[in-house]
Structure 1
Amino acid sequence: MATNKLRGKELEKLGFPKGRVSTIILEIFQSKRFKKHDKEEKLSMLQALIDNREDFRYDPDFRRVVEAMEGKTDKGVEYELEDRELPCHIFGKENIQDGALRQMNAAMKLPITAEGALMPDAHQGYGLPIGGVLATENAVIPYGVGVDIGCRMCLSVYPMDASILEGQRGKLRNILLENTRFGKSEFELPLDHEVLERKEFQEIGIVRSLKDKAYCQIGSSGGGNHFVEFGITEILDPENEFGVPVGKYLAVLSHSGSRGLGAYIAQHYTRIAMDACHLPGEAKHLAWLDLNTEAGQEYWLAMNLAGDYASACHHQIHYRIGKKLGEKPLFKVENHHNFAWKEQLADGREVIVHRKGATPAKKGELGVIPGSMTQAGFIVRGRGNAASLNSASHGAGRLLSRTMAKNTISQSEVNKLLDEHGITLIGSGLDEAPQAYKDIRTVMRAQTDLVDVIGTFKPKIVRMSDDDR
């Protein structure tokens, strides 16, 4: 029976030495990334590495092989978790599952941690929980930012009556189909953008290797919970910052991040961090990069580039849709929620604040907190609450894991719920069913001290990825 599994003798035949190098290669090919590669593809890839290792030097996985072949055997530093009395305010704790609480507890024990907070939409993730906010001293945690660097919300509100959503639903649906791309799909003719000319694409190896991918994917959205929606924005606050009357308007809301560019940057620097910073198993994904090191400075620049790239993707999405509508927006609101910022604590200390699935909410800062396909989201104004590290939730938060959602929710149940709420859905899967999410109203009640509500957004036509999950 044929097998895709590589063996040590096959690696030796190609020219790889026994020991550490072969062990790393075999470990790499057991990962999800290479699950669908057959043996011939793997061997061909390894032959290419033997022929020209420079082509693999900045790959997030094969970098380790290159370094091992060159005799770089730095074992890094072992760190222990420390029990300290540090501030960590948890909002809506009664609705947060134990897994997220355990992850936040581990993050608070890192020797670099200064302060923390957990948002009411929190759920378990990798490293820092989704909804976790962590302030650290002169260090950045790649998995504290997340794989989808700079993932964000962008809302455009148009001077058009919301009734168009009923009278011209078919036309609006087609606008989404023709002017958005998700998952593996890309535009045949991507639009240009100044972000692609940034110096980081020439000066940082891993970023340089990703420029072609960034060009091909610009203006598109990821898979999973990313979306572009037509819906109804209702402005509730007559003293709103936008200078528009209270009332209902047609709006477009998008949620996406930095695509392959951010994902590969995250993987690359997470591996570097984990090689240099060894932590106990429960906290191993919280490995950090000291900002005084070359790797720390590189990651910081690459992270900021990925955040700006994510913003550029949203701007192109909204430009394409606005052009088809033939209207310019009355106003836009945009914020990101997978990022790290240099900020000051209440006592004046400068720290790095990681918001993994958390919305920046400094006093007066605007943001968008979405609900689900069938529940309204909110346009909010930050209240500058120091206990939350000037943060709020980034959405409703998951109630069910993706696996549990697929195993317990039927398509007929989803269709019935969508019909009840008048939602047209394009794409998506059961893992993104509305029932898989918490009640956004419960989440918002738990953060009245963190944000004020200016308006709402109610989805009506939803486009998501239809790639196989």
Structure 2
Amino acid sequence: MKNNITGNNLIEMGYTEGKTVGLALDILKENFTDTEEKELLALFKKVKDYPESFLDDPVLNPLATAMIEETNAPKDETIELVSHAKPYAVFGADYIEEGARNQMDIAMKLPVSAAGALMPDAHQGYGLPIGGVLATRNAIIPYGVGVDIGCRMALSIFDIPEKHYFGKDAMYKRELIAFTKFGPGREFRGLERADHEVLEDEAFNSTPFLKNLHGKAWAQLGTSGGGNHFVEWGIIDFAERDEILNIDKGRYVALLTHSGSRGLGATIAGHYTKLAKDICKLPKEAVNLAYLDMNIAEGQEYWLAMNLAGDYASACHEVIHNRLTKAIGAKVLAKVENHHNFAWKEILDGEEVMVHRKGATPAGKGVMGIIPGSMTAPGFLVRGKGETSAINSASHGAGRQMSRSKAFQSITKSDMKAILKDHNVTLIGAGLDEAPMAYKDINKVMAAQTELVDVIAKFEPKMVRMADDGSRED
């Protein structure tokens, strides 16, 4: 009597669709054509439930072995991406390369993604594109924050009229060199070391990992990174009085700095990115977007460490600004600071989300910010409009239009010297990869985000110091 057992019958009793079902059907066909169907169903259910009991059975051994191997095989814990990228807003689409769009598309397929946006300075990065904004639900992405955690701009506007700057180049250059250090591993030693309340932050004692970074943090406090990090003197132009800052129309000497959390932030980023990749298995194309659930210890630890790195980055700027302000004997009329490479808990459409701004800055209603151009192009003091489609964000600068290698290949030292001379800018340090020509036109970038920010004043660089060792920590 021929049995009529099908693959569906086997699946109903718990067989896994695929190899074991096929093997079971082959065994049934070759060995049990005359056995009652009811008896066979009972037998194969027993093989399913107790495969080890059939390892010595000459007919059923291959099926029993396959089932045991299947049970012991490591499970594929890869988290599937959603099939279609969630829509996101793009500002300045004409200036954004395809690589950045592709990275943002992948980010918007994460199951935890809630919303996203691309700023007009966006370009391809690592994981999330630089200039990318991503809101997630109860999850934080170490590489959505970036390596240089809490990297920021800080601007001090002094009570020095423009005319009092010119003719004193030697003094400004002397103090700029005396009170700044640039590049990876650079430290202050002995009496040069700064003190700041951030070094007393209890977060340093929260984990052995952070405690071990305290010495590095102290030594590097007040130093600046490589790459596009800078400290520069310039002139800021207020075309009209700003009531909120209480600054009259006019042109003032100002100090602008760009740097982040130094070795502290880089070490935190590397440690927690590795943890995230071990815990959160994503497909190959999304592996650098590995995230940590905020309900697990590792997520809470990273949140604490990220905020410490952000506070430390702010302290580094404060040390630099305090030292240089004292050195030139000036009074600060106003100070503005904003940061990127960070994650914030915010409310979006009535829901709490984690907003990652990698190379993008907060631009909520009334929030002040600084958007630099390049060492010769103007920067802009802005006030956010709170545009929801941009997730209350704006660009963090002009953004690169040329890779670093391309800049070295296509820009000459004479090209660099000529453009610096044309703009009357004194440069200390920096490589060809930071040449103004390597960056997008800041005026076009600003024109693409008029919905996002209002311009309050324009900053013109006059003396720029950057790392001269070809390093990069941005």
TM class by shorter-chain length? 0.7 to 0.9
Q: Distance in 2 between matches of 1:238 and 1:328?
A: 18
Equivalent position to 1:327, from 326, 330, 335: 330
Q: Distance in 1 between matches of 2:76 and 2:339?
A: 32
How far the C-alpha of 1:161 sits from its partner, in A, is: 1.3
Q: Distance in 2 between matches of 1:76 and 1:335?
A: 42
How far the C-alpha of 1:466 sits from its partner, in A, is: 1.3
How far the C-alpha of 1:185 sits from its partner, in A, is: 2.7
User: What is the aligned-residue identity percentage?
Assistant: 58
Q: Distance in 2 between matches of 1:125 and 1:405?
A: 17
Contact kept in structure 1, 2:226 and 2:470, CA below 8 Å: no
**Mapping of residues 13-412 of structure 1, within 5 Å:** 77-84=77-84, 86-183=86-183, 184-188=185-189, 189-345=192-348, 347-412=349-414
Structure 1 residues 76, 389: closer, same or farther in 2, change over 3 A? farther
Q: Distance in 2 between matches of 1:462 and 1:165?
A: 14
Structure ID, larger Rg = 2
Contact kept in structure 1, 2:230 and 2:258, CA below 8 Å: yes
Root-mean-square deviation (Å): 1.3
Structure 1 residues 310, 75: closer, same or farther in 2, change over 3 A? farther
SS of 1:315's partner is: helix
SS of 1:180's partner is: coil
SS of 2:232's partner is: strand
Contact kept in structure 2, 1:76 and 1:276, CA below 8 Å: no
Which residue identity lines up with residue 215 of structure 2 in the other structure? Answer: D
Equivalent position to 1:423, from 401, 416, 425: 425
Q: Distance in 1 between matches of 2:405 and 2:364?
A: 35
Which residue identity lines up with residue 129 of structure 1 in the other structure? Answer: P
Give CA deviations for 1:235-260 in whole Å, capped at 9, x if unaligned: 12424411111110000000000000
Which residue identity lines up with residue 265 of structure 1 in the other structure? Answer: I
How far the C-alpha of 1:202 sits from its partner, in A, is: 1.1
Matched, 1:452 2:454: yes
Give CA deviations for 1:35-86 in whole Å, capped at 9, x if unaligned: xxxxxxxxxxxxxxxxxxxxxxxxxxxxxxxxxxxxxxx9893112213463
SS of 1:254's partner is: strand
Which residue identity lines up with residue 415 of structure 1 in the other structure? Answer: K
Q: Distance in 2 between matches of 1:234 and 1:222?
A: 28
Which residue identity lines up with residue 149 of structure 2 in the other structure? Answer: I
4+ residue runs over 6 A deviation? none
Give CA deviations for 1:409-467 in whole Å, capped at 9, x if unaligned: 11110000000000000000011111100000000000000000000110000000112
Deviates more, 1:199-208 or 1:437-446: 199-208
1:414 maps to 416
Count of aligned residue pairs for this structure pair:
395
Contact kept in structure 2, 1:374 and 1:434, CA below 8 Å: yes
Contact kept in structure 2, 1:77 and 1:276, CA below 8 Å: no
1:41 maps to none
How far the C-alpha of 1:187 sits from its partner, in A, is: 2.1
How far the C-alpha of 1:348 sits from its partner, in A, is: 0.1
Give CA deviations for 1:167-217 in whole Å, capped at 9, x if unaligned: 101110111000111113322221111111111111122211111100000
Gaps of 5+ in 2: 1-73
